[in-house]
Chain A
Amino acid sequence: MELRAAVTDLATLHRQLLARAPDEGAAFIAAEPGRPGLLLRSYRVFGEKELDPAFGELSVADDAQTAELAALKRGGHALIEVHTHPGSGPAVDFSRFDQEQLPPFARYVRLKLPGKPFGALVLSEHGYAGQLWTDAGVEPLTIRPVGQRSAVPEWVDPADIDPISRVDRRFDRQMRSLGPDGQARIQALRVGVVGLGGTGSHVVQQLAHLGVRRYILVEDDVVEASNLARLAGATRWDPLLRRRKVAVARRTIRRLSPTAGIKCVGSLRQRPALAALSDVDVIVGCVDNDGARLVMSELAAAYLVPYLDIGVGIEGEGPTSTIGGRVSFHLPGGPCLACADEIDFDEIAEDLESEALRNIRVQRGYARDRRVEPALMPLNGVIASLGMMELLAFATGLRPVIPFARYDTMTGRLVRQSVEASSDCVVCRPAYGMGDRQMVDRYALGART
């Protein structure tokens, strides 16, 4: 089984534990079930006074252990015990003492935290080993870091991150820039694309050209005549035949990659879509409403899934108008759209409310009009391309991801924004690493909670 963890959490945990070298360090990780495997929600590194170096081997003092187990029980989390073997090199493994002590400790913890697995990890400066105790027995525990490839700690085996697929020679020119390893990583990505309209159709087209082979497509709209001015890959027959936008996207991908795995899962407000998006390598959001952005932000935080949001906006007409767009990349542990104050909660309330509630507000005269937004295909193309460059940075480690950037077409300026994760964010903080317990499927229309 794998433990999915933000690279930022892994790097900090590793640094804090190894700061005690040559002495051993110890920490408890609070973990949640994910799809598949476990999710790192939080961790606590024990201080000098909480450790008990009896018999020359490290253990956590009883008081600290009891307090942490009680906290884990209150939070409903599973425990993964972590300790270090400084100087053991990349082939680090559990010691004879560990092998004697861990099985009874696993039984004890599983009695204290019933129904939860128990895990143990041992880290060195250059490697790790892990085991997990479940009802089915004992199995290896591997770490799957999520976040910027350029920030993945070097002590994690790259083979645990993504499978290296066979590289197709048609990507020769790309490989000359990204290298065969970078190309292989792009081909191995599982990408969820939410919204297949003006920007999403560009995104799908570029992903297919780049060589992405596994897609989750989320959209339930039908192509209309007014879409032809901006829907990449559409033909004039599509609105006449009432083709779905997802069918246009699938056709675009199939023309370049006939054997690509494509799963069409309906709209974001349906359970299959919410379930499928919880297990992709990256979500690319190409939507036109903040309600959908809230759902994706929360899902991304709950399952530690990187979320790239691409948005365009046009206000006014002529020389005084504002025409631009924004690319934001919410990496696990990093700032989300709400941390950056980039979503409008009043708009979200209206986007997510039921039709019945909206009808009541319309009758009372205080529902905002849903205006038809202006659109320009070149703008969609520019912003989608900026987003795809960030995807390349994320997937290949070409450079660090730029989490927030804004493009103003009227001045031709691309502005990089500095945003910090907020410890008080009402969207990403409570959801972080909560997995299924975040109950993201409550956003499904008609959901019973």
Chain B
Amino acid sequence: MHPRVAEEWPEIASVYPGVRHIPNPERVEVDVDLEAGMYSRPDTSVAVLIPPGYRAISPDGFLVPSGLRFGGGSNLPASDATGVGMPGWLLVSFHLIDESGASTWRPAADFQRGDNLIGYLASIESFLARRCN
């Protein structure tokens, strides 16, 4: 397990009890509930790929199973993730940036004092609850 993820793992597991760590490509997977009627399913798995430079650099985007769509049947803002070693998944465009396009990721040596995976997963939940806006 990536050493920075290992530091955060007990905390992640306390917030997301069903969290899974999958080594190749290294990612963290959780199950989240979705707003009723907003999507084609009431819940979904969400995977976050861990970049080798994590926590200095943030994860980029997240993945959901390829069957997930908006409630009306339209597609999510996503690309097929086969190329990143995740066939059957979609890579959703999602970035922590400000109006100028600069990253708002502010990590710290102690993960509890800066941005971390729990915050990233919470931002994804919030993003999904806003219909990917």
Which positions in A face B, CB cutoff 8 Å? 291, 294, 338, 345-346, 348-349, 352-354, 356-357, 359-360, 363-364, 422-427, 429-431, 434, 437-439, 442-443, 447-449
Q: Which of B26, B53, B55 contacts A349 (CB 8 A)?
A: B53
Set of chain B residues within 8 Å of A352, measured between Cβ atoms? 51-53, 57
**B55 CB to nearest chain A CB (Å):** 6
**B112 CB to nearest chain A CB (Å):** 12
Q: Which of B2, B60, B83 contacts A442 (CB 8 A)?
A: B2
A426 near B103 with CB under 8 A, answer: no
Set of chain B residues within 8 Å of A437, measured between Cβ atoms? 3
The contact sample of 23 A-B pairs, CB cut-off 8 A, is: A291-B53, A294-B53, A345-B105, A346-B103, A348-B53, A349-B57, A349-B58, A349-B103, A352-B51, A353-B60, A354-B84, A357-B60, A360-B84, A424-B110, A424-B113, A425-B109, A426-B114, A430-B4, A430-B55, A434-B3, A449-B2, A449-B26, A449-B50
Q: Quick one: given A356-B83, A357-B84, A449-B23, are A426 and B55 in contact (CB under 8 Å)? A: yes
Which residues of B64-84 have CB atoms within 8 Å of chain A's CB atoms? 79, 83-84
Which residue of chain B has the shortest Cβ distance to A269 in the bound complex?
A: B52
B45 at the interface (CB under 8 A from A): no
Q: Quick one: given A353-B60, A438-B3, are A364 and B103 in contact (CB under 8 Å)? A: no
Which of B1, B56, B83, B102 is the most central at the interface, judged by chain A CB atoms within 10 Å of its CB?
B56
Q: Quick one: given A353-B51, A448-B23, are A348 and B57 in contact (CB under 8 Å)? A: yes
Q: Quick one: given A345-B103, A360-B83, are A439 and B3 in contact (CB under 8 Å)? A: yes
B108 at the interface (CB under 8 A from A): yes
Set of chain B residues within 8 Å of A427, measured between Cβ atoms? 56
Which positions in B face A, CB cutoff 8 Å? 1-4, 7, 23-24, 26, 50-53, 55-58, 60, 79, 83-85, 91, 93, 102-103, 105, 107-110, 113-114
Set of chain A residues within 8 Å of B2, measured between Cβ atoms? 439, 442, 449
Which residue of chain A has the shortest Cβ distance to B85 in the bound complex?
A: A356
Known: A349-B103, A364-B93, A449-B24. 12 other contacts (CB 8 A): A294-B53, A348-B57, A356-B83, A356-B84, A357-B60, A424-B108, A424-B109, A424-B113, A426-B109, A430-B109, A448-B24, A449-B2
Set of chain A residues within 8 Å of B108, measured between Cβ atoms? 424, 426
A348 near B56 with CB under 8 A, answer: yes
**A50 CB to nearest chain B CB (Å):** 25
Complex CA–CA separation, A352 to B114 (angstroms): 22
Complex CA–CA separation, A448 to B79 (angstroms): 24
Complex CA–CA separation, A353 to B84 (angstroms): 10
Complex CA–CA separation, A354 to B83 (angstroms): 10
Complex CA–CA separation, A376 to B60 (angstroms): 36
Q: Quick one: given A364-B93, A426-B107, A437-B3, are A345 and B57 in contact (CB under 8 Å)? A: yes
**A363 CB to nearest chain B CB (Å):** 7
Set of chain A residues within 8 Å of B51, measured between Cβ atoms? 349, 352-353
Which residue of chain A has the shortest Cβ distance to B108 in the bound complex?
A: A424
A426 near B56 with CB under 8 A, answer: yes
Complex CA–CA separation, A346 to B97 (angstroms): 11
Complex CA–CA separation, A294 to B103 (angstroms): 17
**A158 CB to nearest chain B CB (Å):** 34
Set of chain A residues within 8 Å of B52, measured between Cβ atoms? 352, 442-443, 447, 449
